[in-house]
Every structure is written in C-alpha cells, then in structure tokens.
Amino acid sequence: MKKIIKISIISLALLAGHGCDDVLDVENVSALDPVAVWSDETLTNAFLARLYQITMPGAWPLDAGNSDEGYGLLAANAITANGHPFATFGGYYSDIRQLNTLFTEIDGGTLEEDFKNEIKGQAHFLRAWTYFNLVVRYGGVPIIKNVQNLEDDLQVSRNSTGETFDFIIEDLDNAISLLDGFQGSKGRINEAIALAFKGRVLLYKASPQFNPSNPFDNQYWSQALTATETAMNELAQMGYALESNYANIWSNENTSEAVMPVIFSDPDRLNGRRENCVRPLSISKNCTGGDVPVWNFVESYPMADGYQPGDVNSAYTYDMATYWENRDPRFYATVLYNASIAEFEGVAGRRIYLEESVGDPVDVFAPGVQIGDAKTGFYCLKGLEIDLSQAEVETNDVDWIEIRYAEVLLNFAEAANENGRGAEAIQVLRDIRQRAGIEPGAGNTYGIASGMSRDAIRDAIYHERYIELAFEGKRFWDLRRARRLHTQLDGLRKTGLLPDLKAGANPADAATFSLIPTDFDYSIEDIVTGVEPVMVTPESYYFFPITQNHLDENPNLEQNADWGGTFDPTL
C-alpha cells in the first residue's frame, strides 16, 4: 500500500477556518457564488471539509452501555415518540441539504473535470452515509436530491425502505465510479472505503432486521455476498490486511487495517473519546467514567485455544477464581482487570487495584458504594494512550477506525454463510483468530470446528464480532440487525466482579504493586445504579419512532407501525 500523508480532514478544516466563513454558510444558499466557490479548488475543498465535519463521526463512540458490553442500560421508556437518544431525524436532513447544495452548484463553476469528479464522488459517499444512518434507525425516509427552498413543497412523504436502500446503493455506485483510482490523503473517502461500506449496507438490507418474515433465505443475501466479496478481494489487492498484532491496531497510525479512519491530531482535533472518561478516575480528570466493561461481557471471551470457558474440548480448565488466566489474547488488549499491569503515566510495573481496601476510592467496585460513575471491577484499555500523564489525558488523539479490514472479512463471512459457503466463513473466523494469537490446536481449527451447520456458523460469526469489535460502536447495531436485541438484551441484568483481598494478604503491598490478581477472591455482584439494572429492549426497538415534533411539522410523515403509525419499515 502506498504511504499516505496524515492530513485530510484536519488540514481542510483548518483551511476552512481561514477566510472562508461566508463561503461555508450553506444555510444561506443564495449567498453561494458558483463562479467564486466552484471555480477555486481551495474554496471547494473548504466546502467539502465542512461536509466531512458535519456528516462523519466526530469522536470515538461511547455507547457500550446500550448493549451487553458496558455499564449503562436502556431502561423502560428510554425510547418514546416524544424523544430518545437516537432521535437524529432532523439533523440528518440538515446535512443532506448541505450535500445537495454541492450537487446543485458545482457544475456552475470552471473546475477541472477530474477534480470535480473527485469532489462529487466523496459527496455521493457522504450522502449515502447519511441516508444509511437514517434507514437503519427508521426504515424508509423521504429521498431528497435537490436543495429545498422556502417556496418548495416541504411536506414530503416517506419513500419505501426498498427505495431508500436503492438510493443509497446508487450513491455508493456513483462514488465508486467517480473515485476509481483516487487515493487522496488519509481520512478522505476513496474507492476502498466506498466498496467496504457498500458491503456493510447490503448486509443490513439482507438482515433479519429488515426481513423478519424471511431472515436468511431472502433475495438480498446474494447481493450482500457479491458486495462483501468484491470489497474483500479488491481491498486485499490494494494492500489492506489484518494488522499482525491485534494490540497494535490503535497505536499504529499506518496500520494496514484502517479502511476508513477518522483522523485526530493534538491540538487541532481531539478524538472526543476523552481518555479522561475511559481510564480509571484516579489517573483521570474532569470526567465520571465511560465504556466500563461489565462482567457479562468479560466472561464471554474464549480461552487461549479458542474454546469457550468450560467447553469440554478446551485444553484449559476454567475457574472464575482465576478467570483472567489463559484467555484469548484480545482480552488482555481490551480489558483492564483488578491487579493487572497497566503502566499508566509510564510507571513501570504499575498495577491498578479495584478493591476497596487497597484501591483508590474513585476507582473501586464496592457493594453499596457509588462514587462518580458506576464501577464494575473493570476498565477498558482499547484505544488508550496509557503513557499520557493525568494532566494530559484530554489530549488523546488516537484515530478512530470506523471500518476495519477485520469487519470487511466478517461481513463477507456472514454473507458467505447465508449463501451456502460455510467453509469459507469458517476460514475467515480462523484467520481472524490466528491474527489474534489464539492457539491453533489440532488441525489448526483455532477453536472453530469444521462441518458446523449454517445456524452454528452464524452464531459463531456474531460472537466473533462481539469479541473482535468490542467497544468499537458495533455491538448494539449488530444485535438490532440480527434481531437479537429482544432475545439477548431484554431483561438482562448487568453485573460486575467484586474483588476481596484474601486474609493474610498485606494491603501495604499495593504501594509497591506487589499484590497480584490471585491475592483476591471474586464474586459476581449487581452494579449499583440507583435503579434496577435490567435492560429493556422490546421488539419495537428494531425501528425507532420519528419524534412527535417532526410529525407535527410535516403531516405527510407516517409514523412507524410499532409506534402507533401505519408505515412498515421492513422490506
């Protein structure tokens, strides 16, 4: 793969901030002068930079609490037609209006055709990205291709879900065509990103979320297979591959796995994950914690040979008293557990203690104690810059990888399995586990048996995504896509693992980091939240309601059927 310079969004955003404010005021469409803006590559790039800023992820996701990964829960009435945490309907249409401004105006200038096509290609992707975020939340939505002015009829109706998917794919096909051979700087949308995203989109289209009456034998799975296989093969030819060491994915800014990175650079653009919110609070500041793993998630990791804890085929005996021993190497790259070594601030051999008699009070998990955010006996390590001092924690600028090559492979595996190519799906799982450092075992199976049924392979793929993509903002949406939200999350009690210093162990040894995990006993305990720690995720959550304020503004918008309306959001 060619070496890519780390500029893109950051450089363009800085450019946009110098003397271009009037040009970027796209709310006032009449103020745009096509001759000035669309005849100047600098101004056009500045306009495009603004589109990136408003449409692309602006930070690492912090939504593990919506699934079975982290602390937090969707409780009763978390989602209503009057408001909910995923209610972004109007905001997305504001973005679409600005994207449509580009398509409406760009041909009025004198830009070189090749440059103009590169700009259009990126804008087609950004519009597809925006409509995809709408369709996975609501189902079919109004398709608007032109800038709506005040004199236009703004009382638009919803297009069908099938029409919305078709429009997204049309935009992506345009992006792929226009960006053929375009590399751009790191972080800019290119052909590889569009190919990979098309595979994700068609995987959703074929999924049980959109096809509840025929979840695995519908006509769309062949489309998903074509798209995901094309993405996998073409990206491999471009040089994309699995990072050799899973633990290095986030620290290696030139990783071959970063298909769609969102670039951050201190001090110009920080990643918003705010390391101060994720690391233990005793070495943080100005935050109350986030992305705290729960025991439900931690116990789901395979053993070092790829078999689940307690599986008779595993070479390792599992005991909760030593739950951290002989686990999948991805466990150690993701989870910070009691008395584990984590050399924050560059302190050699440093261990973090999460037990109340030896740990810092703001870090520990203790019965009935609620200090800051809820504690679970664990913290998340993925994406942290642990060498940062406490004073520097807000400067974390680790790039966010929205699409990793591992996801591209897993997307193909899922589509292959549903199209009768289970052996290829199994091989993908083994390849990913080989990279993870799991022991091959007899026959190089990596804990994934040959000859499994389609249902068993499907379950294995979903579980592998759970582990491989942990805390990457994928789990909640995967469970919705698979229609497993109500079967795996509804009624789930989230728990933590309570450490208790054993009799005879010397608490003073914590000062020299001499206490090790086996110096503690462990018990599963409910998390203290002030409310019943039970997830509420009924089947109505597979499509969210359009909030009442938007229905009031536009009587032609139909509400989704599960929310008192007549619109069917499925295919």
Check residue 269 and give its pLDDT.
81
Residue 375 pLDDT class (50, 70, 90 cuts): confident
> In whole angstroms, what is the distance from residue 443 CA to residue 439 CA?
11
> In whole angstroms, what is the distance from residue 420 CA to residue 228 CA?
15
> In whole angstroms, what is the distance from residue 101 CA to residue 112 CA?
19
| DSSP class per residue in 23-61 | TT-TTSGGG--HHHHTT-HHHHHHHHHHHHHHHS--S--
Q: Are 367 and 356 in contact (CB under 8 A)?
A: no
Within 10 A of 428 (CB to CB), how many other CB atoms are there? Answer: 23
Mean pLDDT of 157-181: 97
Q: Is residue 223 part of a domain?
A: no
Check residue 10 and give its pLDDT.
32
Q: Is residue 92 part of a domain?
A: yes
- Collapse the DSSP code of 450 into the 3-class scheme (helix H, G, I; strand E, B; otherwise coil) and give the result: coil
Report the Cα–Cα distance between both ends of the chain, in Å, rounded: 39
pLDDT at position 533 over 80: no
263-298: per-residue pLDDT in tens?
888 888 877 666 778 899 899 988 877 889 999 999
Average pLDDT, the chain: 90
Check residue 17 and give its pLDDT.
32
pLDDT at position 367 over 80: no
Same domain, yes or no, for 361 and 459?
A: yes
Higher pLDDT, 58 or 52: 52
pLDDT at position 29 over 50: no
Same domain, yes or no, for 260 and 315?
A: yes
Residue type, 353: Y
Mean pLDDT of 39-55: 93
Same domain, yes or no, for 154 and 253?
A: no
> In whole angstroms, what is the distance from residue 542 CA to residue 136 CA?
9
Q: Is residue 16 part of a domain?
A: yes
Mean pLDDT of 390-396: 89
Q: Extract the tokens encoding 152.
A: 């236009």
Mean pLDDT of 519-536: 83
The pTM (predicted TM-score) of the whole model is 0.93
pLDDT at position 148 over 80: no
Q: Is residue 226 part of a domain?
A: no
Q: What is the number of residues in the chain? A: 571
Domain count, the chain: 2
Q: Are 189 and 180 in contact (CB under 8 A)?
A: no
- Collapse the DSSP code of 500 into the 3-class scheme (helix H, G, I; strand E, B; otherwise coil) and give the result: strand
- SS3 assignment for 460-515: HHHHHHHHHCCCCCCHHHHHHHCCCHHHHCCCCECEEEEEEECCCCCHHHHHHCCC
Q: Are 472 and 61 in contact (CB under 8 A)?
A: yes
pLDDT at position 27 over 60: no
pLDDT at position 511 over 50: yes
- Collapse the DSSP code of 496 into the 3-class scheme (helix H, G, I; strand E, B; otherwise coil) and give the result: strand
Q: Which residue has the tokens 């190519």?
A: 421
The DSSP call for residue 260 is E
CATH value at residue 313: 1.25.40.390
Check residue 147 and give its pLDDT.
82
> In whole angstroms, what is the distance from residue 273 CA to residue 260 CA?
17
> In whole angstroms, what is the distance from residue 68 CA to residue 297 CA?
6
pLDDT at position 532 over 90: no
Same domain, yes or no, for 169 and 252?
A: no
pLDDT at position 346 over 90: yes
pLDDT at position 529 over 80: no
Same domain, yes or no, for 48 and 168?
A: yes
Check residue 552 and give its pLDDT.
92
Same domain, yes or no, for 261 and 184?
A: no
Higher pLDDT, 506 or 73: 506
The highest-confidence range among 19-28, 92-101, 123-132, 258-267, by mean pLDDT, is 123-132
pLDDT at position 151 over 60: no
pLDDT at position 25 over 60: no
- The domain in which residue 22 lies consists of 9-58+77-189
Check residue 9 and give its pLDDT.
34
62-89: per-residue pLDDT in tens?
889 999 999 888 988 999 999 999 998 9
Q: Is residue 146 part of a domain?
A: yes
Q: Which residue among 189, 215, 250 closes a domain?
A: 189
Same domain, yes or no, for 254 and 146?
A: no
Same domain, yes or no, for 185 and 279?
A: no
The DSSP call for residue 301 is S
Higher pLDDT, 193 or 396: 193
473-500: per-residue pLDDT in tens?
999 999 999 999 999 999 999 999 999 9
Mean pLDDT of 402-429: 98
> In whole angstroms, what is the distance from residue 274 CA to residue 398 CA?
10
Question: Of all helices (H) and strands (E), which one includes residue 196?
Answer: helix 191-206
